Structure 1
Amino acid sequence: MTVIVWIVEGTWPACIDAVRAHAPEDTDVVLVHVTGSEAPSAAHGAYAGLLGRARPERDPGTAVEHLAAASAEHLLADAASRLGRPCTRSERTGRVEREVVAAAAGADLLVLARDGDRTRLGPRSLGPAGRFIVDHAPCPVLLVWPETAPGIDTIPAPPHR
């Protein structure tokens, strides 16, 4: 059995705890972190457009790429430590939602946390990336709350007719 776990800052501990609670010990666990390409691209573009290309060593896009990689490495190390058993770490770059779906190809389970409005129950508890992943996942999905789930009294009232 292979379980893919989407590691995102702020919500990853709940995903790791779900794997520890629900996946057998002999499960192949793959921790996946995706760094979006938007920030480095914007920094590269701003530098090239505003300041020219005379000194590529001063391009802030490179520094942003290095910071993102270091942050991803740190998150994956923390997640692996919390998991407390062997796992594979995968760092990807690109469109986050598409990279997570691609990483889940061939997996038996994908674990992710809600990434939207977590103050109430309902579809808005999934942000755009989470919604895309849930809708397009090529395997079963375990969707967890990063903290205690809101009460059922937070469900919106039915529409008036």
Structure 2
Amino acid sequence: MRILVWVAEGTWAACVDAVRPLPGDVTLLHVVDVATAAALSGPVGLLGRSGPTDQGEYLLARAETELLDAAAARLGRDAAREVRRGRPEREVVAACANVDLLVLARDGDRSRLGPRSLGHHTRFVVDHAPCQIFLVWPESTPGLGTLLPPPHHDQIR
């Protein structure tokens, strides 16, 4: 089985923990949003010029390497690494082209059950990934008491 783990800041540890007991070839995927990269790589330096030594890009690459190193160490077995730059939701879906399972975590409101527990990037991936999905809660799962009541129009009179 080919398993892709979306290593995203704030939720990656739960994804790695979930995939650890699964058999198969694991790839750890990290995506840097182009908007974030652009914001960090704004014009700096002499006369507003920036180049390949841009500090923002260097810091992003360093943080990305440290994040993937931590994920690989936590996994405790060999794993391929894939890094991408672009729109995260599109890059993750594209990376799923040749995998059997994508492991990702809820990244929205994790205090209650419901659709808002998925951020907009994650919602897009869940709706469009061309493979099976293993969706995990990064913390303990909220109880059933957090489920919102049905809308008023659904109540029987």
Q: TM-score, normalised by structure 2?
A: 0.90
Compared CA separation, residues 71 and 43, structure 1 to 2 (3 A): closer
Structure 2 residue identity aligned to 1:12 = W
2:38 is the alignment partner of 1:2: no
Match of 1:70 among 62, 68, 75: 62
Q: Is the 8 A contact 2:93 2:130 kept in 1?
A: yes
Quick one: percent identity of the two aligned structures?
54
Could you tell me which runs of 5 or more consecutive residues in structure 1 were left unpaired when the two chains were aligned: none
Q: Is the 8 A contact 2:41 2:55 kept in 1?
A: no
Map of 1:38 onto structure 2: 35
Q: Is the 8 A contact 1:40 1:62 kept in 2?
A: no
2:47 is the alignment partner of 1:54: yes
Map of 1:103 onto structure 2: 95
Q: Is the 8 A contact 2:41 2:57 kept in 1?
A: no
Deviation of the 1:84 alpha carbon? 0.5
Aligned residue for 1:104, secondary structure, equals helix
Structure 1 residue identity aligned to 2:142 = P
Aligned residues: 152
CA distance in 1, matches of 2:31, 2:131: 19
Match of 1:124 among 116, 124, 136: 116
Map of 1:90 onto structure 2: 82
Aligned residue for 2:30, secondary structure, equals strand
CA distance in 2, matches of 1:16, 1:78: 10
The CA RMSD measured in Å over matched residues stands at: 1.8
Could you tell me which runs of 5 or more consecutive residues in structure 2 were left unpaired when the two chains were aligned: none
Structure 1 residue identity aligned to 2:49 = P
CA distance in 2, matches of 1:33, 1:140: 19
